[in-house]
């Protein structure tokens, strides 16, 4: 009889734990799986130069970093196609991932893995953007793009539960869990013009007006959960409510300033998403998922009723969202065959890849020949932490090809916590 009760207790404990774990996972992964991106024409050149671009971007690249630089852009550019993918997390490096994959984890290894995760939880951001077409002629630019955004956070207690199980006299709480994501298309009309001109200096202002077409949006409205194990019983709960929509539209505005000095310096300042609003009004739904476990012990033979799950969907009202604002400052100059640039980026909220923690970028481009331009760069701060980048530009007559690769989290490739790749092609006349 004692063995039967012990078996029932273990079965109930496993069933309750599994139900809570499944619910906890769903709290954030739904947000992590949606791609995220930046607006406007993908600037692969800037990616290769460590993310700099406020003072150096010209042509269609200026749309993304500083529309005021269109005042200093010459000729005619046709953006054929560009794409960028960026995935990173705040906890696991490539080395650690390879170390634990497919191996048995003893207590020491589990403790080490748990210590890799910050107290704020495991955060993952995934970014994807694509420029489908763009035109730039002198001071004007028109660009069409596809983009998305997705980020999620899993409470550290969730990993404690997965690694060590629900131990006696312990309560795990995974309420610090969140997720959001969107997918959009955009069309941006941009202009930059000189407003003040000296003998050897110029000041310009620029603006990008964006029409936003929303394809999908999801955000976690509320999420909490806990699991408590005592000698008498196992009890716990997990709850998540998400709001989703599969259509909407809105508008946005970016502003920029650019200044060229007599000494060859280029200075820039831009406000990304100075104003944005997207109204989501197509097929809006509120989804609620709940798991409750209570009274599970060796004396309870009705385990099916001890663990209950509900999954409910309601029709919801339309709602509006905005995109996070970022302020950028930059400076650049040419020293011999090298273009050198520096950017400072300040976000106004902690959301996705935007952070209130400042981020610094530095990069250079070597004009090796008229055909090949190697690029390298570094960045520190913000959500992604320290990173290094490398890029290459090819000029084949009117045809341009740009490539870039970026590491996230550390300079050592084995310690990187994320990777990003970008490539693009255009015609420049």
pLDDT digits (tens, 9 = 90+) for 355-385: 899 999 999 999 888 899 999 999 999 877 8
Q: Please list the residues that pair with 218 across neighbouring strands.
A: 181, 244
Residues 429 and 76: beta-carbon distance below 8 Å = yes
Phi/psi at 411 (5° precision): -80, -35
Q: Is 356 helix (H, G, I), strand (E, B) or coil?
A: coil
Sequence-ordered list of residues with C-beta below 8 angstroms from that of 212, at least 6 positions apart, any chain: 184, 185, 186, 249, 250, 251, 252, 276, 278
Domain of 305: which CATH number?
2.40.160
How is residue 283 annotated by DSSP?
S
- d(CA 21, CA 404) in angstroms, rounded, equals 39
Find the domain containing 86 and state its range.
2-428
The number of distinct structural domains making up the chain is 1
**3-state per-residue secondary structure call for 302-347:** CHHHHEEEEEEEEECCCEEECCCCEEEEEEEEEECCEEEEEEEEEE
- d(CA 151, CA 349) in angstroms, rounded, equals 14
Mean pLDDT of 286-314: 74
- pLDDT for 113: 83
- pLDDT for 13: 43
State pTM to two decimals.
Answer: 0.80
Q: Is pLDDT at 175 greater than 70 in this prediction?
A: yes
- d(CA 376, CA 366) in angstroms, rounded, equals 9
- pLDDT for 61: 92
- pLDDT for 67: 97
Mean pLDDT of 152-158: 82
Q: Is pLDDT at 83 greater than 80 in this prediction?
A: yes
pLDDT-based confidence at residue 221 (cuts at 50, 70, 90): confident
Q: What is the mean pLDDT of the chain?
A: 83
Residues 130 and 146: beta-carbon distance below 8 Å = yes
């Amino acid at each position: 009889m004692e063995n039967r009760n012990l078996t029932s207790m273990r079965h109930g404990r496993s069933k309750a734990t599994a139900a809570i774990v499944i619910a906890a996972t769903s709290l954030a992964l739904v947000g992590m799986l949606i791609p995220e991106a930046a607006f406007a024409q993908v600037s692969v050149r800037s990616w290769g130069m460590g993310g700099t671009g406020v003072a150096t971007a010209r042509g269609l690249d200026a749309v993304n970093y500083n529309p005021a630089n269109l005042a200093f852009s010459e000729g005619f550019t046709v953006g054929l196609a560009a794409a960028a993918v960026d995935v990173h997390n705040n906890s696991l490096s490539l080395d650690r991932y390879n170390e634990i994959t497919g191996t048995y984890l003893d207590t020491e290894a589990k403790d080490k893995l748990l210590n890799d995760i910050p107290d704020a939880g495991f955060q993952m951001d995934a970014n994807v953007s694509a420029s489908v077409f763009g035109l730039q002629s002198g001071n004007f630019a028109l660009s069409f793009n596809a983009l998305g955004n997705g980020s999620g956070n899993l409470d550290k207690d969730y990993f404690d539960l997965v690694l060590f199980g629900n131990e006696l006299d312990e309560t795990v709480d995974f309420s610090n869990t969140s997720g959001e994501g969107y997918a959009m298309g955009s069309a941006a009309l941009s202009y930059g013009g000189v407003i003040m001109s000296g003998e050897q200096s110029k000041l310009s202002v620029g603006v990008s007006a964006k029409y936003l077409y929303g394809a999908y949006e999801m955000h976690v409205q509320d999420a909490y959960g806990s699991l408590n194990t005592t000698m008498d019983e196992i009890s716990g709960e997990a709850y998540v409510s998400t709001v989703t929509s599969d259509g909407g539209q809105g508008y946005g505005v970016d502003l920029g300033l650019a200044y060229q000095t007599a000494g060859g310096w280029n200075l820039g300042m831009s406000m990304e998403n100075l104003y944005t609003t997207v109204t989501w009004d197509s097929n809006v739904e509120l989804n609620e998922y709940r798991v409750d476990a209570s009274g599970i012990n060796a004396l309870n033979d009705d385990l099916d009723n001890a663990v209950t799950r509900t999954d409910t969907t309601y029709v919801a009202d339309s709602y509006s969202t905005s995109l996070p604002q970022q302020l950028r400052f930059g400076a650049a100059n040419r020293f011999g065959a090298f273009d050198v640039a520096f950017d400072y980026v300040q976000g106004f909220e902690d959301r996705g890849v935007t952070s209130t923690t400042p981020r610094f970028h530095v990069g250079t481009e070597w004009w090796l020949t008229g055909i090949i331009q190697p690029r390298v760069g570094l960045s520190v701060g913000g959500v992604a932490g320290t990173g290094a980048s490398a890029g290459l530009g090819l000029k084949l007559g009117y045809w341009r090809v740009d490539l870039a690769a970026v590491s996230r989290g550390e300079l050592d490739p084995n310690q990187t916590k994320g990777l990003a790749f970008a490539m693009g092609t255009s015609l420049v006349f």
